[in-house]
Amino acid sequence: MKKISILLFVLIASLQINAQSKVGTIDVEYILSQMPDLKEAGNQARIYSEDLNAQLQLKIKKYQDLVKVYQENELSYKEAEKSSKIQELQTLEQDLQKFQQNSNSLVQVRQNELLQPLYAKINVVLQEVATKGGFTQIITINETLAFIDPKFDITFAVMTKMGLQFPKQEK
* pLDDT tens per residue, range 10-19: 556 555 555 5
In a domain, 2, yes or no: no
Question: Given a cut of 50, is residue 162 above it in pLDDT?
Answer: yes
Confidence of residue 61 (pLDDT cuts 50, 70, 90): very high
Average pLDDT taken over every residue of the chain = 84
CATH of the domain at 51: 3.30.910.20
Q: How far apart are CA 84 and CA 77, in angstroms?
A: 10
Question: Given a cut of 70, is residue 163 above it in pLDDT?
Answer: yes
In a domain, 80, yes or no: yes
Smallest CA-to-CA distance from 152 within 132, 131, 135, 168 is with 135
In a domain, 16, yes or no: no
Q: Worst-scoring range by mean pLDDT, 37-51, 111-125, 153-167? A: 153-167
Question: Containing domain of residue 55, as a range?
Answer: 21-170
The total of other beta-carbon atoms located within 10 Å of residue 91's CB is 10
Q: Worst-scoring range by mean pLDDT, 14-18, 50-54, 158-162? A: 14-18
pTM score, whole prediction: 0.66
In a domain, 77, yes or no: yes
Q: How far apart are CA 95 and CA 79, in angstroms?
A: 24
Radius of gyration of the chain (CA): 30
Reported as a single tens digit per residue, the pLDDT across 126-142 is 889 988 988 888 888 87
In a domain, 114, yes or no: yes
In a domain, 91, yes or no: yes
Reported as a single tens digit per residue, the pLDDT across 69-115 is 888 888 888 888 888 989 999 999 999 999 998 998 999 999 999 99
Give the pLDDT of residue 14.
57
The total of other beta-carbon atoms located within 10 Å of residue 155's CB is 24
In a domain, 13, yes or no: no
**Per-residue CA distances from 133 to 21, 33, 62, 156, 164 (Å):** 12, 24, 61, 13, 19
* ∠ Cα 4 9 10 (to 5°): 100
Smallest CA-to-CA distance from 25 within 145, 160, 159, 122 is with 145
Q: How many domains does the chain have?
A: 1
Q: Pick the more confident residue, 54 or 166.
A: 54
In a domain, 14, yes or no: no
Question: Given a cut of 50, is residue 171 above it in pLDDT?
Answer: no
